[in-house]
Amino acid sequence: MFGLTFEKLLVITIISGFVIGPRRLPVYAGQLAAFVRDLRGFIETTRARAETELGVRAVDLRDYDPRRIVRNALEAPVEPAEEQLPSNSEPRTIV
């Protein structure tokens, strides 16, 4: 997530606790949570609206996972190929 590790997020949280203060921190955290919820809702409604109005389905990148493609190819039943011999030649025997 943007190169942020758990330790970096912890340091940012502690510094913001000192800068904002312990009284206002819960208020700002609630506002941030509401903003993220609203943003996710906006993205979902925009995606659904685009799919219905444009008739375009959102691309699922998991469909293009090479491991899935190989697994599906290996699980598909294989039909034996029939060899067609030309009518003017006789079958050969391999010794």
pLDDT at 71 over 70: yes
- The token duo for 65 is 């996972």
3-state secondary structure labels for all residues of 38-73: HHHHHHHHHHHHHHHHHCCCCCCHHHHCHHHHHHHH
What confidence tier does 72 reach under pLDDT thresholds 50, 70, 90? confident
- What pTM was estimated for this model as a whole? 0.48
Where do the domains of the chain lie? 6-74
First-to-last C-alpha distance (Å) of the chain? 64
Over residues 25-46, the pLDDT tens digits come to 889 889 999 999 999 999 999 9
86, 80 in Cβ contact below 8 A?
Answer: no
Over residues 47-70, the pLDDT tens digits come to 889 888 888 777 778 788 899 889
Residue with tokens 């899935």: 68
Q: How many percent of the chain have pLDDT more than 70?
A: 81
